Amino acid sequence: MQVKVASIESRIAEELGVRDGQVTAAVGLLDGGSTVPFVARYRKEVTGGLDDAQLRTLEERLGYLRELEERRSAVLASVEEQGKLDDTLRAQILAAETKARLEDIYLPFKPKRRTKAQIARESGLEPLADLLLGTPETEPSTA
């Protein structure tokens, strides 16, 4: 997980056009419970002079990218559990830059909700239902 955190921070630094150390310091303060206005006013020296707008953007992107990584892990685990994960699919999932793209890749592998009818079919009740529907005069207890 440490590699992902480092890559998130370096990605944010690249997007904002600031140094990695500034982002790392700001992330540490924000994770520690400090608010953006507090960091912008009273911890400017720690963040290397990041202004309020940069800190706000940093906070939003940090949240988004962390959610993306969590979702990516869940998608990988789900597809792997289904036994459908191959190297090509893994590469596509890892390369997804947005949540929307990740969900588009995952859509064909997303488990469908099971209805009561599907559960009954899985239990072997379909022949009984067909018999009852085919001959309505048949009593369920005698079938």
- Does any domain span residue 105? yes
69 inside domain: yes
Q: Which domain holds residue 88?
A: 2-134
Among 27, 26, 71, 32, residue whose Cα is nearest residue 49: 26
Closest CA to 105 of 71, 138, 132: 71
Question: Whole-prediction pTM value?
Answer: 0.74
The two tokens of residue 41 are 């006013």
| Model confidence at 143: pLDDT above 70 | no
Q: Is residue 141 part of a domain?
A: no
Whether residue 142 lies inside any domain: the answer is: no
Tokens of 3: 């590699």
For residue range 72-90, what is the model confidence (pLDDT) as tens digits?
999 999 999 989 999 999 9
**Cα gap 7→19, rounded to integer Å:** 13
CATH number at residue 109: 1.10.10.650
Q: Using one digit for the tens of pLDDT, what is the confidence trace for 114-129? A: 888 888 888 998 888 8
Q: How many domains, in total, are found in the chain? A: 1
